[in-house]
Structure 1
Amino acid sequence: MSPRVSCSSIAILALVLQILILADARPRASLDHDHPSCLCTALQSCWPDPSAWDTFNSSIDGRLIEVLPPAAPCHESHFDEQACQIVREKWSSPFWRSDQPGAMQASNWEASGDQSCLISSPRNSSCSQGSVPVYAVNVSTPSHVQSAVKFASAKNIRLVIKNTGHDFFGKSTAAGSLSIWTHHMKNMSFHHDFVAKRCSVSPVSAVTVGAGVQWEELYQAVFKQGKVIVGAGGVTVGAAGGYPQAAGHSPISPAFGLAADNVLEYEVVTAAGDLVVANGCQNKELFWALRGGGGGTFGVVVSATHRTHPPLTNLAFAVYTINATDRSSFLDLLTNFAVIHPSLSEAGWSGYFLLSSQSLQLSRQTLLVLYILPNKDVSFAKSTLAPFLDYVEKHPKLQGNGSVVSLSSFQEYYSQFLCGGQNSCVNSNGSASPGALSSRLIPKSLFDSRKSVEQLSDALISILERYPASILGAFVAGGAVARPRDENAVNPAWRRALLLAIISSGWSDGASLEEQREVARNVSAANKLLIDLTPGSGTYINEADFNEPDWQQSFFGEHYPRLQAIKSKVDPSGLFRCHHCVGSEKWSDDLNCPRSSE
């Protein structure tokens, strides 16, 4: 097989990864219920008056800010020519978006139904607040968080928590709400011999990060320490928030476990406004829930301590593009590719593959593979891939090219794959357009027979045939992820899985609600093909379908009853609410009122 692969192929996969990182699920309408048992929003008479806000602002060192939709400077009511030019230039930058208190990484979460403020609409068009919070507390200390929590609780205000806006379910924004914006809590400290508070355990290498630290910042700092860390593929994702709290997968998870497995300690502000430390020796139930039970649910995390690991060296990096000319050959290709994954997992491989189809009628379907093998040489890596590559070489209807190369470190992989060859991703662009997303954990047991593997391959091709979608395969389970453990709330389906299959499809900015809903319906229908094939499995909370059926089981598995009990204990009034989060079945669709009041 010719050792050639185009840079555009890597760019395509990187773009799809960005879509999956930044895309959201689907639009929803917001309801206001003027009822004493409902939370108070800005459109209701119960909303605090200006003097109450002034008093609150004085108590938090003047950190309260009025929040506007990010496109507001380009509309008549707030028009600012210079600011509007910046907005238009930066609109697609995930770094710029993460710096805006009212911006989400996918712009349709800034809308509430058909109420929105679009960058694509004329200057004299309506600019609605949509789902953008009315106020945000730009917190810089835990005490600011405590004050905001106590104020929201005392005034019965709808509260949300936001760092960067990487959020598929609209968890970190809500119409008429108050936002705790953690983005500027950038403290970071390394520990050569970390021991969690009140614990008597062997010390380990670790780093403690504030709630506003993003993975690009943390990766660079960790690399300077000569270490590696289990982190996100989206470098503008927060390092302490929803990513590790929901599990957090990484290409080095098979070597070191999920992000949740590597969190050693949290500092958390509870619903009562208390600042507590949660680890394996104190507040143990809360610590268990925070590692896998989902973000925005059990409290406001103000810092997280992650374990760091010795550097990975001599990585083998496999990049292959393989084209099939008809459905039968594509089915054969995917089946033979899938069959080798148990042995690849045993060898230590991980990474991502992308399935795409220009059109099955145009007879061009593509499998793009980007896998890494840590601490092994190229010769060994090629030997593990040889049976599959020989099959591709001899198949008359398959055309493949690519190679296995040696990388000196995980940092080199990071710069080549995530940053397009740059040492830092800070200048990267390309925040994804709005879209819909779903995923399914594919259990290792499915690979026990060729028949079931063929069924999986057929389902994947059927998705590409029926729906305008892309499929990303995250080969990030197995290995250390599969290690039996019950010390955290990570969905047990992760421990049984080998792959995570992620389906995505998008729409243009300004698409109608019906167009958006149609895309979302298609993604849900596509995901059902994988759900039917994998009964009893689950999904990854952060990359799941907004309308995931039986979400309690799919997100949390057998852990859900225990999570419910912990939620009732640490947040009995439900101050922290989000879509399809633990305990959310109690509330109306807009999460403002008890469901029984509807």
Structure 2
Amino acid sequence: MHSPTLRSIALVGALVAVIHANTAFVNAAPDDLPPHPSPSSKCYCQPTDPCWPNDATWSALNTAVGGRLIPTKPAAYECHDPHYDAAKCQEIQKGYHFDYWRHKQPGAVEQTNWEVFNYRSCRGFNQTEPCYQGAVPLYSVNVTNVQDVQHAVRFAAKNNIRLVIKNTGHDYLGRSIGVSSLNVWVHHLKKIALDDNFVPEGAPRRTPGQGAIILDPGVIWQEAYAAANEHNVTVVGGAHPTVGTSGGYCQGGGHSPLSPRHGLCVDNVLQYKVVTADGQLRVANAYKNKDLFWALRGGGGSTFGVIVEAVYKTHPAITEFSYAGYRIGFNGTEARRKVYTSFLSQQLAWGAAGYSGYSYFQLEGLMFYYMFPGVGSTVVNSTMSAFLKEIASIPNITIEGEAVSAGSFWEAFGPLVTNNTEPTSGSNTILGSRLIPKANFEDAAGISQLVDVMMEAQDDLGKLMGPAGATVLGHLVAGGQVSKGNSRETSVLPAWRKALFHVVVAAFWPDTAHPGAPQYMGEKITATTQRFRDISPGSGAYFNEADPNEPDWQEAFFGSNYPRLRAIKRKLDPRGVFVCHNCVGSEDWNKELTCRL
């Protein structure tokens, strides 16, 4: 049996052999790498640069992290020649379009357009199509403890290599992937604890304790909700069950089905433990590292450090909970306008009552799933009746759905849990979004204007992708307690405090599309999103579900908080160990995020 050191050398040697023998795999050929001047401290090292770490250096890192340095391959690697393996490819095809499978692959993210670099990638199942590394990291550290994170961060800083962080890869801005990078893969850190009397470190004596859930960075919301339910408490988290709890979701703001009742995720953070750019483990809360704590609550993920523990406030269990799911069918432009107008006219009152929900505005229908914490189905039916009665008189209208009582948030959350038989990821996706202020819902003129813009956006999307793609997504996740939060205490975009509705548009395209499709689709989504920007001056966009080509992104994502965030970034990470697309400080870097400007 080989010693750990020999196994480490063998592992790294095998990868280096692949690098030299198959440049298509690692995408390290000179014409594939971003152009930049001769290697210098202004640019991250690339595999073809003299500064790239040698075999012994990589082997030392592998030894330091217990042999868990992974040569990282694209998810579809074994489906392409010359690496084709029929049995492995069959398994890849079974999981390729499912998020639970992609989370387990260090080289996969949910939106595959982010796996492309210089028009090259390794996607799909065409055996004869070349397989390039693209933007997939060259190495991943399968983290099992805080020390592994520290080793990875220090290695990247010392050797001038780009560092990325991945739990699930559930990200619409490509922040968990990067060309020629080292990936800190935290997916297997799964500890969950609940504390009824949590007191932040450094708090004064006699500071009263409060209920809290303590989460490792690999935990997803489905797991956190189940644990909270067993403890008879609730916690503010994401609507998608496989979103990570501790990464970009909360650091970017974090809207939730419970936000109108309990605020955004950032409003519920009690403490973080984070490895910063110098490799140090720091505690950030209201008493220690206050600037860092402020920045982590709204300044975005992959920017200020690697979260290794998040502590969130818990709330008493909601013992009476209802939800309603409906599909309203209609024909014609006038009927569509009437249904949209009636539905949007309800949002101000529903948000004020602490209700929340998700809606799909389609050409021939409106679908929505709403949650009603603290009320029974009788109250929900009464709430729904005014809206349903108003639209029932529209010719050829169809109404399907019901209101259901649930014993807890966890029970109501069940219908939102993705069925593993339905594909949910592994596609090319780009979003655009806007936070629509409450003021737009306060009179008939504002609602009429919003309906006009929604229908114009549907026309745009229909021309781009056909009728099936002409969908606008609505989220009632603001108002209520979100409006009462104080953005001076967190770095979240201040526009959240005046918002009521979060609107999203999306474009999709196949892997076989023209290489220019991503740019073309991106331009169209930016233009469509501009319609919503025009009716909401002074508002902004939810960072985690935004247009990657957002104009004036500093203002749109961070607002008046940006200057302070940028100053904290410069202080904590002057060398740029953490860099990501449209993240704080990224304007100092080129488009490929490989060289400082």
TM-score, length-normalised on structure 2?
A: 0.90
Quote how far apart the aligned CAs of 1:400 are: 2.4
Aligned letter for 1:411?
W
Equivalent in the alignment of 2:435: 441
Equivalent in the alignment of 1:75: 80
Query: For residues 192-203 of structure 1, what are the structure 2 equivalents within 5 Å?
Result: 192-200=196-204, 201-203=207-209
Is 1:592 paired with 2:591?
Answer: no
Distance 1:320 1:53 in 2: 55
Equivalent in the alignment of 1:411: 410
Equivalent in the alignment of 1:315: 321
Aligned match for 1:563, one of 562, 565, 569: 565
CA RMSD of aligned residues (A): 1.7
Equivalent in the alignment of 1:259: 265
Aligned match for 1:575, one of 549, 574, 577: 577
Would the aligned equivalents of 1:231 and 1:249 in 2 still touch at CA under 8 Å?
yes
Aligned letter for 1:203?
G
- Partner SS, residue 474 of structure 1: strand
Quote how far apart the aligned CAs of 1:432 are: 5.2
Is 1:494 paired with 2:511?
Answer: no
Distance 2:455 2:146 in 1: 49
CA offsets 1:168-227 (integer angstroms, 9 cap, x no match): 111111111111111111222211111111114321111111111122222222222222
Distance 1:427 1:265 in 2: 37
Distance 1:348 1:186 in 2: 31
Equivalent in the alignment of 1:152: 156
Distance 1:46 1:463 in 2: 49
- Structure 1 residues 116, 342: CA separation in 2 closer, same or farther (over 3 Å shift)? same
Quote how far apart the aligned CAs of 1:140 are: 1.1
Equivalent in the alignment of 1:135: 139
Query: For residues 458-497 of structure 1, what are the structure 2 equivalents within 5 Å?
Result: 458-468=452-462, 469-485=470-486, 486-497=488-499
Quote how far apart the aligned CAs of 1:505 are: 1.9
- Structure 1 residues 63, 34: CA separation in 2 closer, same or farther (over 3 Å shift)? farther
Is 1:527 paired with 2:533?
Answer: no
Query: For residues 425-440 of structure 1, what are the structure 2 equivalents within 5 Å?
Result: 429-431=423-425, 433-440=427-434
Equivalent in the alignment of 1:334: 340
- Structure 1 residues 186, 308: CA separation in 2 closer, same or farther (over 3 Å shift)? same
- Partner SS, residue 193 of structure 1: strand
Aligned letter for 1:316?
S
- Partner SS, residue 402 of structure 1: strand
Would the aligned equivalents of 2:272 and 2:311 in 1 still touch at CA under 8 Å?
yes
- Which has the higher relative contact order, 1 or 2, with Cα contacts under 8 A spaced 6 or more apart? 1
- Partner SS, residue 250 of structure 1: coil
Aligned letter for 1:482?
S
Aligned match for 2:279, one of 270, 273, 293: 273
- Structure 1 residues 475, 323: CA separation in 2 closer, same or farther (over 3 Å shift)? same
Compare 195-204 and 553-562 and name the one that shifted more.
195-204
Would the aligned equivalents of 2:142 and 2:185 in 1 still touch at CA under 8 Å?
yes
Aligned match for 1:226, one of 224, 227, 232: 232
Gaps in structure 1 of 5+ consecutive residues: 1-27, 358-364, 421-425
Distance 1:525 1:29 in 2: 30
Would the aligned equivalents of 2:112 and 2:426 in 1 still touch at CA under 8 Å?
no
Would the aligned equivalents of 1:435 and 1:519 in 2 still touch at CA under 8 Å?
no
CA offsets 1:101-131 (integer angstroms, 9 cap, x no match): 101112222221311112232x232110100
Quote how far apart the aligned CAs of 1:254 are: 0.8
Would the aligned equivalents of 2:96 and 2:426 in 1 still touch at CA under 8 Å?
no
- Structure 1 residues 484, 410: CA separation in 2 closer, same or farther (over 3 Å shift)? closer
Equivalent in the alignment of 1:11: none
Equivalent in the alignment of 1:360: none
- Partner SS, residue 446 of structure 2: helix
Distance 2:398 2:495 in 1: 35
Would the aligned equivalents of 1:213 and 1:238 in 2 still touch at CA under 8 Å?
yes
Quote how far apart the aligned CAs of 1:427 are: 6.9
Query: For residues 108-127 of structure 1, what are the structure 2 equivalents within 5 Å?
Result: 108-121=113-126, 123-127=127-131
TM-score, length-normalised on structure 1?
A: 0.90
Gaps in structure 2 of 5+ consecutive residues: 1-31, 463-469
Query: For residues 9-28 of structure 1, what are the structure 2 equivalents within 5 Å?
Result: none
Quote how far apart the aligned CAs of 1:304 are: 0.6
CA offsets 1:523-547 (integer angstroms, 9 cap, x no match): 2111110000101000100100010
Identity among equivalent positions (%) equals 41
Distance 1:84 1:32 in 2: 36
Equivalent in the alignment of 1:301: 307
Compare 553-562 and 214-223 and name the one that shifted more.
214-223
CA offsets 1:68-107 (integer angstroms, 9 cap, x no match): 1111111223222222111111111211100111011122
Distance 2:78 2:400 in 1: 48
Equivalent in the alignment of 1:390: 389
Distance 1:467 1:43 in 2: 42
- Structure 1 residues 29, 332: CA separation in 2 closer, same or farther (over 3 Å shift)? farther
Distance 1:232 1:58 in 2: 37
Aligned match for 2:67, one of 30, 43, 62: 62
Equivalent in the alignment of 1:22: none
Would the aligned equivalents of 1:94 and 1:430 in 2 still touch at CA under 8 Å?
yes
Compare 133-142 and 527-536 and name the one that shifted more.
133-142
| Deviation beyond 6 Å, 4+ runs, structure 1 | none
- Partner SS, residue 279 of structure 2: coil
Distance 2:232 2:270 in 1: 20
Aligned letter for 2:414?
S
Quote how far apart the aligned CAs of 1:271 are: 0.6
Quote how far apart the aligned CAs of 1:406 are: 1.6
- Structure 1 residues 376, 350: CA separation in 2 closer, same or farther (over 3 Å shift)? same
- Structure 1 residues 268, 345: CA separation in 2 closer, same or farther (over 3 Å shift)? same
Would the aligned equivalents of 2:359 and 2:369 in 1 still touch at CA under 8 Å?
yes
Quote how far apart the aligned CAs of 1:428 are: 6.1
Is 1:103 paired with 2:108?
Answer: yes
Is 1:513 paired with 2:518?
Answer: no
Aligned match for 2:249, one of 230, 243, 247: 243
Distance 1:59 1:29 in 2: 29
- Partner SS, residue 106 of structure 2: coil
Aligned residue pairs total 555
- Partner SS, residue 513 of structure 1: coil
Distance 1:59 1:263 in 2: 32
Equivalent in the alignment of 1:18: none
- Structure 1 residues 155, 354: CA separation in 2 closer, same or farther (over 3 Å shift)? same
Distance 1:119 1:73 in 2: 11
Aligned letter for 1:433?
S
Would the aligned equivalents of 1:104 and 1:166 in 2 still touch at CA under 8 Å?
yes
Would the aligned equivalents of 2:98 and 2:426 in 1 still touch at CA under 8 Å?
no
Would the aligned equivalents of 2:240 and 2:416 in 1 still touch at CA under 8 Å?
no
Aligned match for 2:331, one of 322, 325, 328: 325
- Partner SS, residue 340 of structure 1: helix
